[in-house]
A and B are shown apart, each in its own frame.
Chain A
């Protein structure tokens, strides 16, 4: 039996260890990323050239944006299964309306971001004020968003002007514009939000909604804000995907629901709320996206891709649980 003050496995170590424990997700993702890129480079050295790095960034940034949005909702102990649906809807809107003039591009970007806030608002209202379970609510809204996308664009098509595509997917020397977009989105949205009381409130609500309510926090408005922020990140991801594929596709967002959840969990964001960083899900997304991209380079047959993707997800998720097998007392597991 452990002494009572060490109910959490990290409790028996000093404060430094505790802080390190909080960053276990991001740290292991960073190590994983180095290994993955290392293996990739051994097989295909060109990947370390500016062009190679840009392509690696380009395949990862959409997932990273989606995962950051997902993480905001997870931090508030919510869940967004409609991230993929939102990405699909905004991608289709952007691809059908963007036109070619500077003004129309700017207008469509603004409108897309507003749609993202709007879809997030719908989720937030239904969950925070309508009191519907996040799982079932966002499952339903995902149908609504995908349905709208199918009405706007029944089959892949639309067009994206070259200028817009270049602006998001090319690079400046070794620095890919897509990474600048990701950093910009984090600096403009995540950093101010989580530097402000709102960010601390989101974490407080996620940690224990009832305590937050008793402490006088406007829990419903905070939950609403978390879904709107997720919608905003989904909109940026959708615009980036539009630039990357230079078209719209009513099924483009499907994979982002599971993958954004997986990336967030890999990056150490807790599915039960209140714990997580921003760098974790970003690194997690890069690891996942680059592994999936690398399968092609390693002559893996397309038929094996899903199997290997699933296996990698399970192994990586399972590794996090292995240390729990060493727990001395079963009851410690329930305090996680």
Chain B
């Protein structure tokens, strides 16, 4: 905050907040507005059973959004999400059945996550290809791997019970998926705010050359960020396979851009260096509520896509415009 804005800040309490805080506040204002709109469309949104469903869906988007927030904060983006989800779900369920052990599914999640993360780091950091296009290409490669694998081995219909518990189980009145999200989200916020990791992330996003000269290990940081992102997607793959009781080709297709949208609506700047995970939580809930509201409206697929795009665009226009 510069001196001029401190002088002007005495007039309104809102102006006293920094720009970053105002963006996060805005994202929660949007969340309230979207929730109010949902209730206006359908009273069902007041009931806990409906809200529970939305919390589970938001947990999927929100867990992916952790890695996506990190990636966007360092000025990159990870669009290899869809087929990381699918590949980990199909491999995980198949191998868990084959070896008849639950832990195999987790081993697959970790293996796929680390492999995809390192592959993304190779292109984005070592070879310096733009992350937008490199991660999309990796996504295509993973799609190919999934196709080749399912051609050789038919996907199983028996999902590991741990996946079903994580996605469908309850602790008291709260869904397990939501609790997992809350735990991971809290870790992400603590990591960004209090650990050296967080300071390095913001440093890289603000100016990479300065971060390098200050002794930040850029390669290691890129690797951590992309591995966290891929691990999140791979883990959501496991959750989704339990949630829908099947692992199928294309199951992750609707998760990449919604999670990016969640991060951006949450006030994180796409150029990197500004924002955080607190806003992304609101972003994930907003995206999920919008999708749910459109489904209850019972309109055709085309109209639903149009309205989703239009609403998201309106939100972006109203709240997260670039300065200049």
Contacts and interface: CB of A to CB of B under 8 A. Distances in A.
Nearest to A257: B136
Given A147-B303, A148-B306, A133 B270 contact: yes
Interface string A117-152: 000000000100011110111011111101111111
B127 A322 contact: yes
A172 interface: no
B261 A136 contact: yes
Given A135-B270, A136-B270, A307 B123 contact: no
B316 A148 contact: no
Interface string B300-312: 1111111111101
Dominant SS among interface residues on chain A: helix
A45 interface: no
A318 B261 contact: no
A211 interface: no
Interface stretch (A32-40, A49-57, A102-110, A325-333): A325-333
A309 interface: yes
A303 B249 CA distance: 12
> What band does the interface of chain A fall in when counting residues whose beta carbon is under 8 Å from B?
35 or more
A286 B34 CA distance: 46
B17 interface: no
Most buried by B among A152, A154, A307, A308: A307
Given A147-B306, A151-B302, A261-B136, A132 B313 contact: yes
Dominant SS among interface residues on chain B: helix
A334 B147 contact: no
Nearest to A148: B306
Contacts of A310: 137-144
A144 B128 contact: no
Given A147-B303, A151-B303, A258-B140, A320 B313 contact: no
B305 A146 contact: yes
Interface in A290-320: 301, 303-311, 313-314, 317-318, 320
Contacts, number: 171
A149 B137 contact: no
Contact of A265 (B133, B145, B306, B320): B133
A140 B316 contact: yes
Contacts of B144: 304-311
Nearest to B152: A303
A131 B321 contact: yes
A79 to B, nearest CB: 8
Interface of A: 79, 126, 130-133, 135-137, 139-144, 146-152, 154, 209, 250, 258, 261-262, 265, 271-272, 301, 303-311, 313-314, 317-318, 320-322, 324-325, 330-331, 333-334, 336
17 contacts: A132-B317, A133-B264, A143-B308, A144-B309, A144-B313, A147-B303, A148-B306, A150-B300, A150-B301, A152-B302, A154-B300, A272-B130, A309-B140, A310-B143, A317-B137, A318-B129, A331-B209
Given A132-B320, A317-B129, 12 more contacts: A126-B313, A133-B270, A143-B312, A144-B305, A304-B147, A307-B144, A310-B137, A311-B141, A313-B141, A314-B134, A321-B123, A334-B209
